[in-house]
Amino acid sequence: MSVSEDSKNLIIPGDILACERDNQTVDIIGQGIYLSFENHLYNNNKLYPTHVGIENYTTKNNKVIATLDYNSKRYIPQQGDYVIATVTNNYSTHFLCTLNNFSSTVTLPYANFPQATKKNRPKYENGDLVYCRVKTVDTDLPAELECMDSETGNKDGFGLLEQEKSKHTAVLDCSLAYARELLFNDKGFPLLSDMVKKNLSFEVAIGVNGKIWISTASLLETLCVYKILSKCEKSNRDSILQIIEETVTEYVKE
């Protein structure tokens, strides 16, 4: 028996997930689902929903991925998430970073950079933004980030989000569901491609911890992109094009 891929049930913490009810094995768990280790010996670990949301099952490479689509402002690190971290302090072995305002810190060890040696350590200042991935999450320890693909040792696009001289950069805080939607669902929510179609040229990096980094050539363009992204968070999907048009004429008058 397999869990149907289009079952869209609203789940409240305390409910039983469909995969749990049907005894379906899940290979990868995503956001909003907690794997309880309470019966480790008897190999009957249980999956529990941690948020209110819609459960979602997809199959990729013969692996069933279970996620719970929910919205929240507070990010709780989960393994494998692509995040934008702010460096707040550095020690002899690691950087201390925050993923969220007002939340506990996470670590970014120097060993988790490509070609790391004892002498070759990255020089980041406090307040720099780093694009990285959550490596491990432990209940008793701060989460650990990595700045490379640990399987291949490549850089893979991770690293410092730089502030180039000729460019204007900004970072926007948004809700978690919005960041995920922008990152993973470009077909269903084509905001970024719509913006490119309107002749806005910009670089963007999205962290699922609710941070969007923008970089464009001029200050007003950056503000324009910033405004579009923050306005579209709370508006209807049909009005996206209108918002883009209005904001572009307001800030970039050409």
Partner 1 sequence: MAKDLEISNIEKKFIFDLLASSQRLDGRKSLLEQRNLNIVITPNKFGDIYIEYKRLDGSIATRLHCKVTSEVVKPKAQRPFEGTFFINCEFNGLAGLNFENYKVGSNSDEFYYGRLIESMILRSNALDLEQLCIIAGLKVWNIRVDVHVLEFDGGFLELASIGCMTSLLHYRRPDVTVRNEKVTVHSFDEKEGVKLGVLHIPIALQFNLFQLKETAEIIKSNSSIENNELVALDCTLKEDLLKDGEFIIALNKNREIVQLNKPGGLPIAALKLIQFAHMALPIIEEITSKMLKAIEIDERQRNKYGHLLSAENDRYAG
What does the binding site for partner 1 look like in residue numbers (CB under 8 A)? 86, 88, 98, 101-105, 125, 127-129, 161, 163, 168-171, 213, 219-220, 222-223, 226-227, 231
**Nearest distance from residue 13's CB to partner 1, in Å?**
21
Bridge partners for 215 per DSSP: 169, 203
Alpha helices in 101-184 (DSSP H): 176-184
User: How does DSSP assign 170-224, residue by residue?
Assistant: EEEE--HHHHHHHHH-TTTS-HHHHHHHTT---EEEEETTTEEEEEESSHHHHHH
Nearer to partner 1, 57 or 251 (CB): 251
Q: How far is the CB of 194 from partner 1 (least distance, A)?
A: 21
Residue 31: CB minimum distance to partner 1, A:
21
Q: Which is nearer to partner 1, 67 or 215 (CB)?
A: 215
Angle at 100 between CA 181 and CA 107, to 5 degrees: 110
Rounded least distance, CB 228 to partner 1, Å: 12
CB of 28 to partner 1, least distance (A): 30
Output the six-digit token pair for 134: 């959550």
Give, as one character, the DSSP assignment of residue 110.
G
Write down the residue that tokens 């004892």 correspond to.
118
Residue 212 CB, nearest approach to partner 1 (Å): 12
Residues 6+ apart with CB under 8 A from 43: none
129 or 200: CB nearest partner 1 = 129
C-beta of 87 vs 134, nearer to partner 1? 87
* Paired sense of beta strands 63-69 and 28-29, if any: parallel
Nearest in space to 236 (alpha carbons), one of 176, 191, 202, 179: 191
Task: Tell me if 180 sits within 8 A of 83, measured CB to CB.
Answer: no
Minimum CB distance to partner 1 smaller for 72 or for 105: 105
Q: Which is nearer to partner 1, 136 or 235 (CB)?
A: 235
Closest approach of partner 1 to the CB of residue 202, in Å = 14
Total Cβ atoms within 10 A of residue 17? 22
Closest to partner 1 by CB, 189 or 213? 213
